Structure 1
Amino acid sequence: MNDHDLVAAVLKGNMKAFAILVEQHKRLVASIVSRLLDDDMEREEVCQDVFMRVYEKIHSFNFDSKLSTWIGTIAFRLAANRLKKLKGRKALSGDLEAVKEPGREDMQVEANDYSSFVRSVVDQMPAAYRSVLLLYYLDGYSYPEIVEITKWPEGTVKNYIYRAKAKLRELMEPYIGTEI
C-alpha cells in the first residue's frame, strides 16, 4: 500500500491502515527519539505521543513532503520539546556542548565490536550534532529534508553536520592506530 492509499485509508477511519502506518514508521520514530532522549520511559512515551499526534493531524498532511519526513518532523519536535522540558533550558538552540558529554570511562569496547564502539563515540556528541549527523548519514535524509524535520535554517544544518564531523574526528583521534 503506497503512502497516498495509506493516508486515505487512515482518514476514512481504517485502524488496520493506521497500524500499518505505525509498523512502517516505528523504527524511524524510535531512532529519532532515542537520539535526543536517554531515558527509556521518556523515549517510549514520546514515541506513543508521536503516533497519537500523527493520527490527530493526518488530515493536515498534504504530500508536500514524504510521509516519513512529515512523521520524522513530528518525532523530532516532540523529542526536542521533551528534552527542553527535562533540561529546563534550551538544550538544542542554546548551549550545544552542554547537552550530553559522558566521560571516556563509559567507552568499554569489546574486541571486534566496532559498530558498538562507533555508536558510543557518537553518543558522546551533543544531541543536536548527533541528530543531524545520523539523520544525514544513517537515515539518508537530504539537507532540505533535515531542514524540514528540524525547522532549522539550511545553513545551521550544514554547520551542525560540519561541526559534528569535526567533533567525531576529535573524539576518534585517541583511538586511531589502536586495535578496537
Structure 2
Amino acid sequence: MSDSPTSSVTDQQLVRQVLAGNTAAFGQIVQRTEGLVTQLVFKMIRHPADRPDIAQEVYLKAFKNLAGFKFQAKLSTWVGQITYNTCLHYLEKKQLVLVDPAEPPPDDAAEEGRRSLPPLVAGSDYNPEAALFDNDLTAILGVAIEQLPPLYRTLISLYHQQELSYEEIAQITSLPDGTVKNYLFRARKLLKQQLLTRYQRQDL
C-alpha cells in the first residue's frame, strides 16, 4: 500500500499551507495530533460528556494561534501543550486537583540518580501462557492507572503509551525535566502500592 499524498508533507509545510488560506490542510494537522490530544483529554478529564467540547476547544485554539507557532518544538508538542493547558484550566474551573495537594513539592535533586524508568510490564520470552498473563496484567494496570490523580495518569500515558521523551513531556506540561521524572517515579510508586493493596501477590 502506498503512502497517502500528504504523508510526506512536513509540519512546517502544513502550517504554511493553512496560513496561506488552505484550511483543508488543518485536517492533516488534526490527524497527526489527535492521538496525543485524545490521550491527554481522556487522562485529565474524567467526565466523558466534557471531553468532546474540550478537544474541539483545543483545535479552535490551535487554529486561531497557528500563526504564533515558531517551529521551536514539534507541532504535536505544541498542540499537546495547548491541550494540557486547556484541560488544566477546566480542572481549575471545576476546582478539581491535578495531584494530591498534601504531597510535598518534588525535589528535583533527588532525581539525579534516576536516569530512566523501567517499563510498566517487564518483557519476557513470549509463549501463549505468558501472553495471556501479560494481557491480564495490562488490564489490571489499566484499571489501577485510572485511579491515580490526573497528573500522574497523564504522565504515565505520555511516557509509556505515547513514548514521549522527558523533554517533550516537560514542554507539554511546562514542568522541569527533573520534576517530570520525580512525578513519574511517584506515580509508579503509588501505582505499585495500589496494586499490592488490591490484589494478592500471587494473583499478579
RMSD: 1.9
Does residue 150 of the first structure (1) align with residue 173 of the second (2)?
A: yes
Deviation at 1:144, TM superposition (A): 1.3
Q: Residues 65-98 of structure 1: CA distance to partner in whole angstroms, max 9, x if unpaired?
A: 1111111111111011101111x25x2266177x
Normalising by structure 1, report the TM-score. 0.83
In structure 2, what is the equivalent of residue 100 of structure 1?
none
8 Å CA contact 2:100–2:149 kept in 1: the answer is no
Normalising by structure 2, report the TM-score. 0.74
8 Å CA contact 1:96–1:126 kept in 2: the answer is no
Does residue 81 of the first structure (1) align with residue 89 of the second (2)?
A: yes
Secondary structure at 1:141 match in 2: coil
The answer to which structure has the higher helix fraction is: 1
Q: Percent identity?
A: 32
In the alignment, the residues of structure 2 paired with residue 55 and residue 152 of structure 1 have an alpha-carbon distance, to the nearest angstrom, of 25
Pick from 152, 157, 166 the counterpart of residue 189 of structure 2: 166
In structure 2, what is the equivalent of residue 134 of structure 1?
157
Q: Which has the higher contact order (CA 8 A, sep 6+)?
A: 2
In structure 1, stretches of 5+ residues that fail to align are 98-110
Aligned residues: 164
Pick from 38, 41, 46 the counterpart of residue 38 of structure 1: 46
In structure 2, stretches of 5+ residues that fail to align are 1-8, 104-132
Rg comparison, structure with higher value: 2
Instruction: Go from structure 1 to structure 2 and tell me whether the alpha carbon gap of 1:24 and 1:11 turns closer, same or farther (over 3 Å shift).
Output: same
Pick from 51, 60, 78 the counterpart of residue 70 of structure 1: 78
The letter of the residue matching 1:29 is V
Secondary structure at 2:65 match in 1: helix
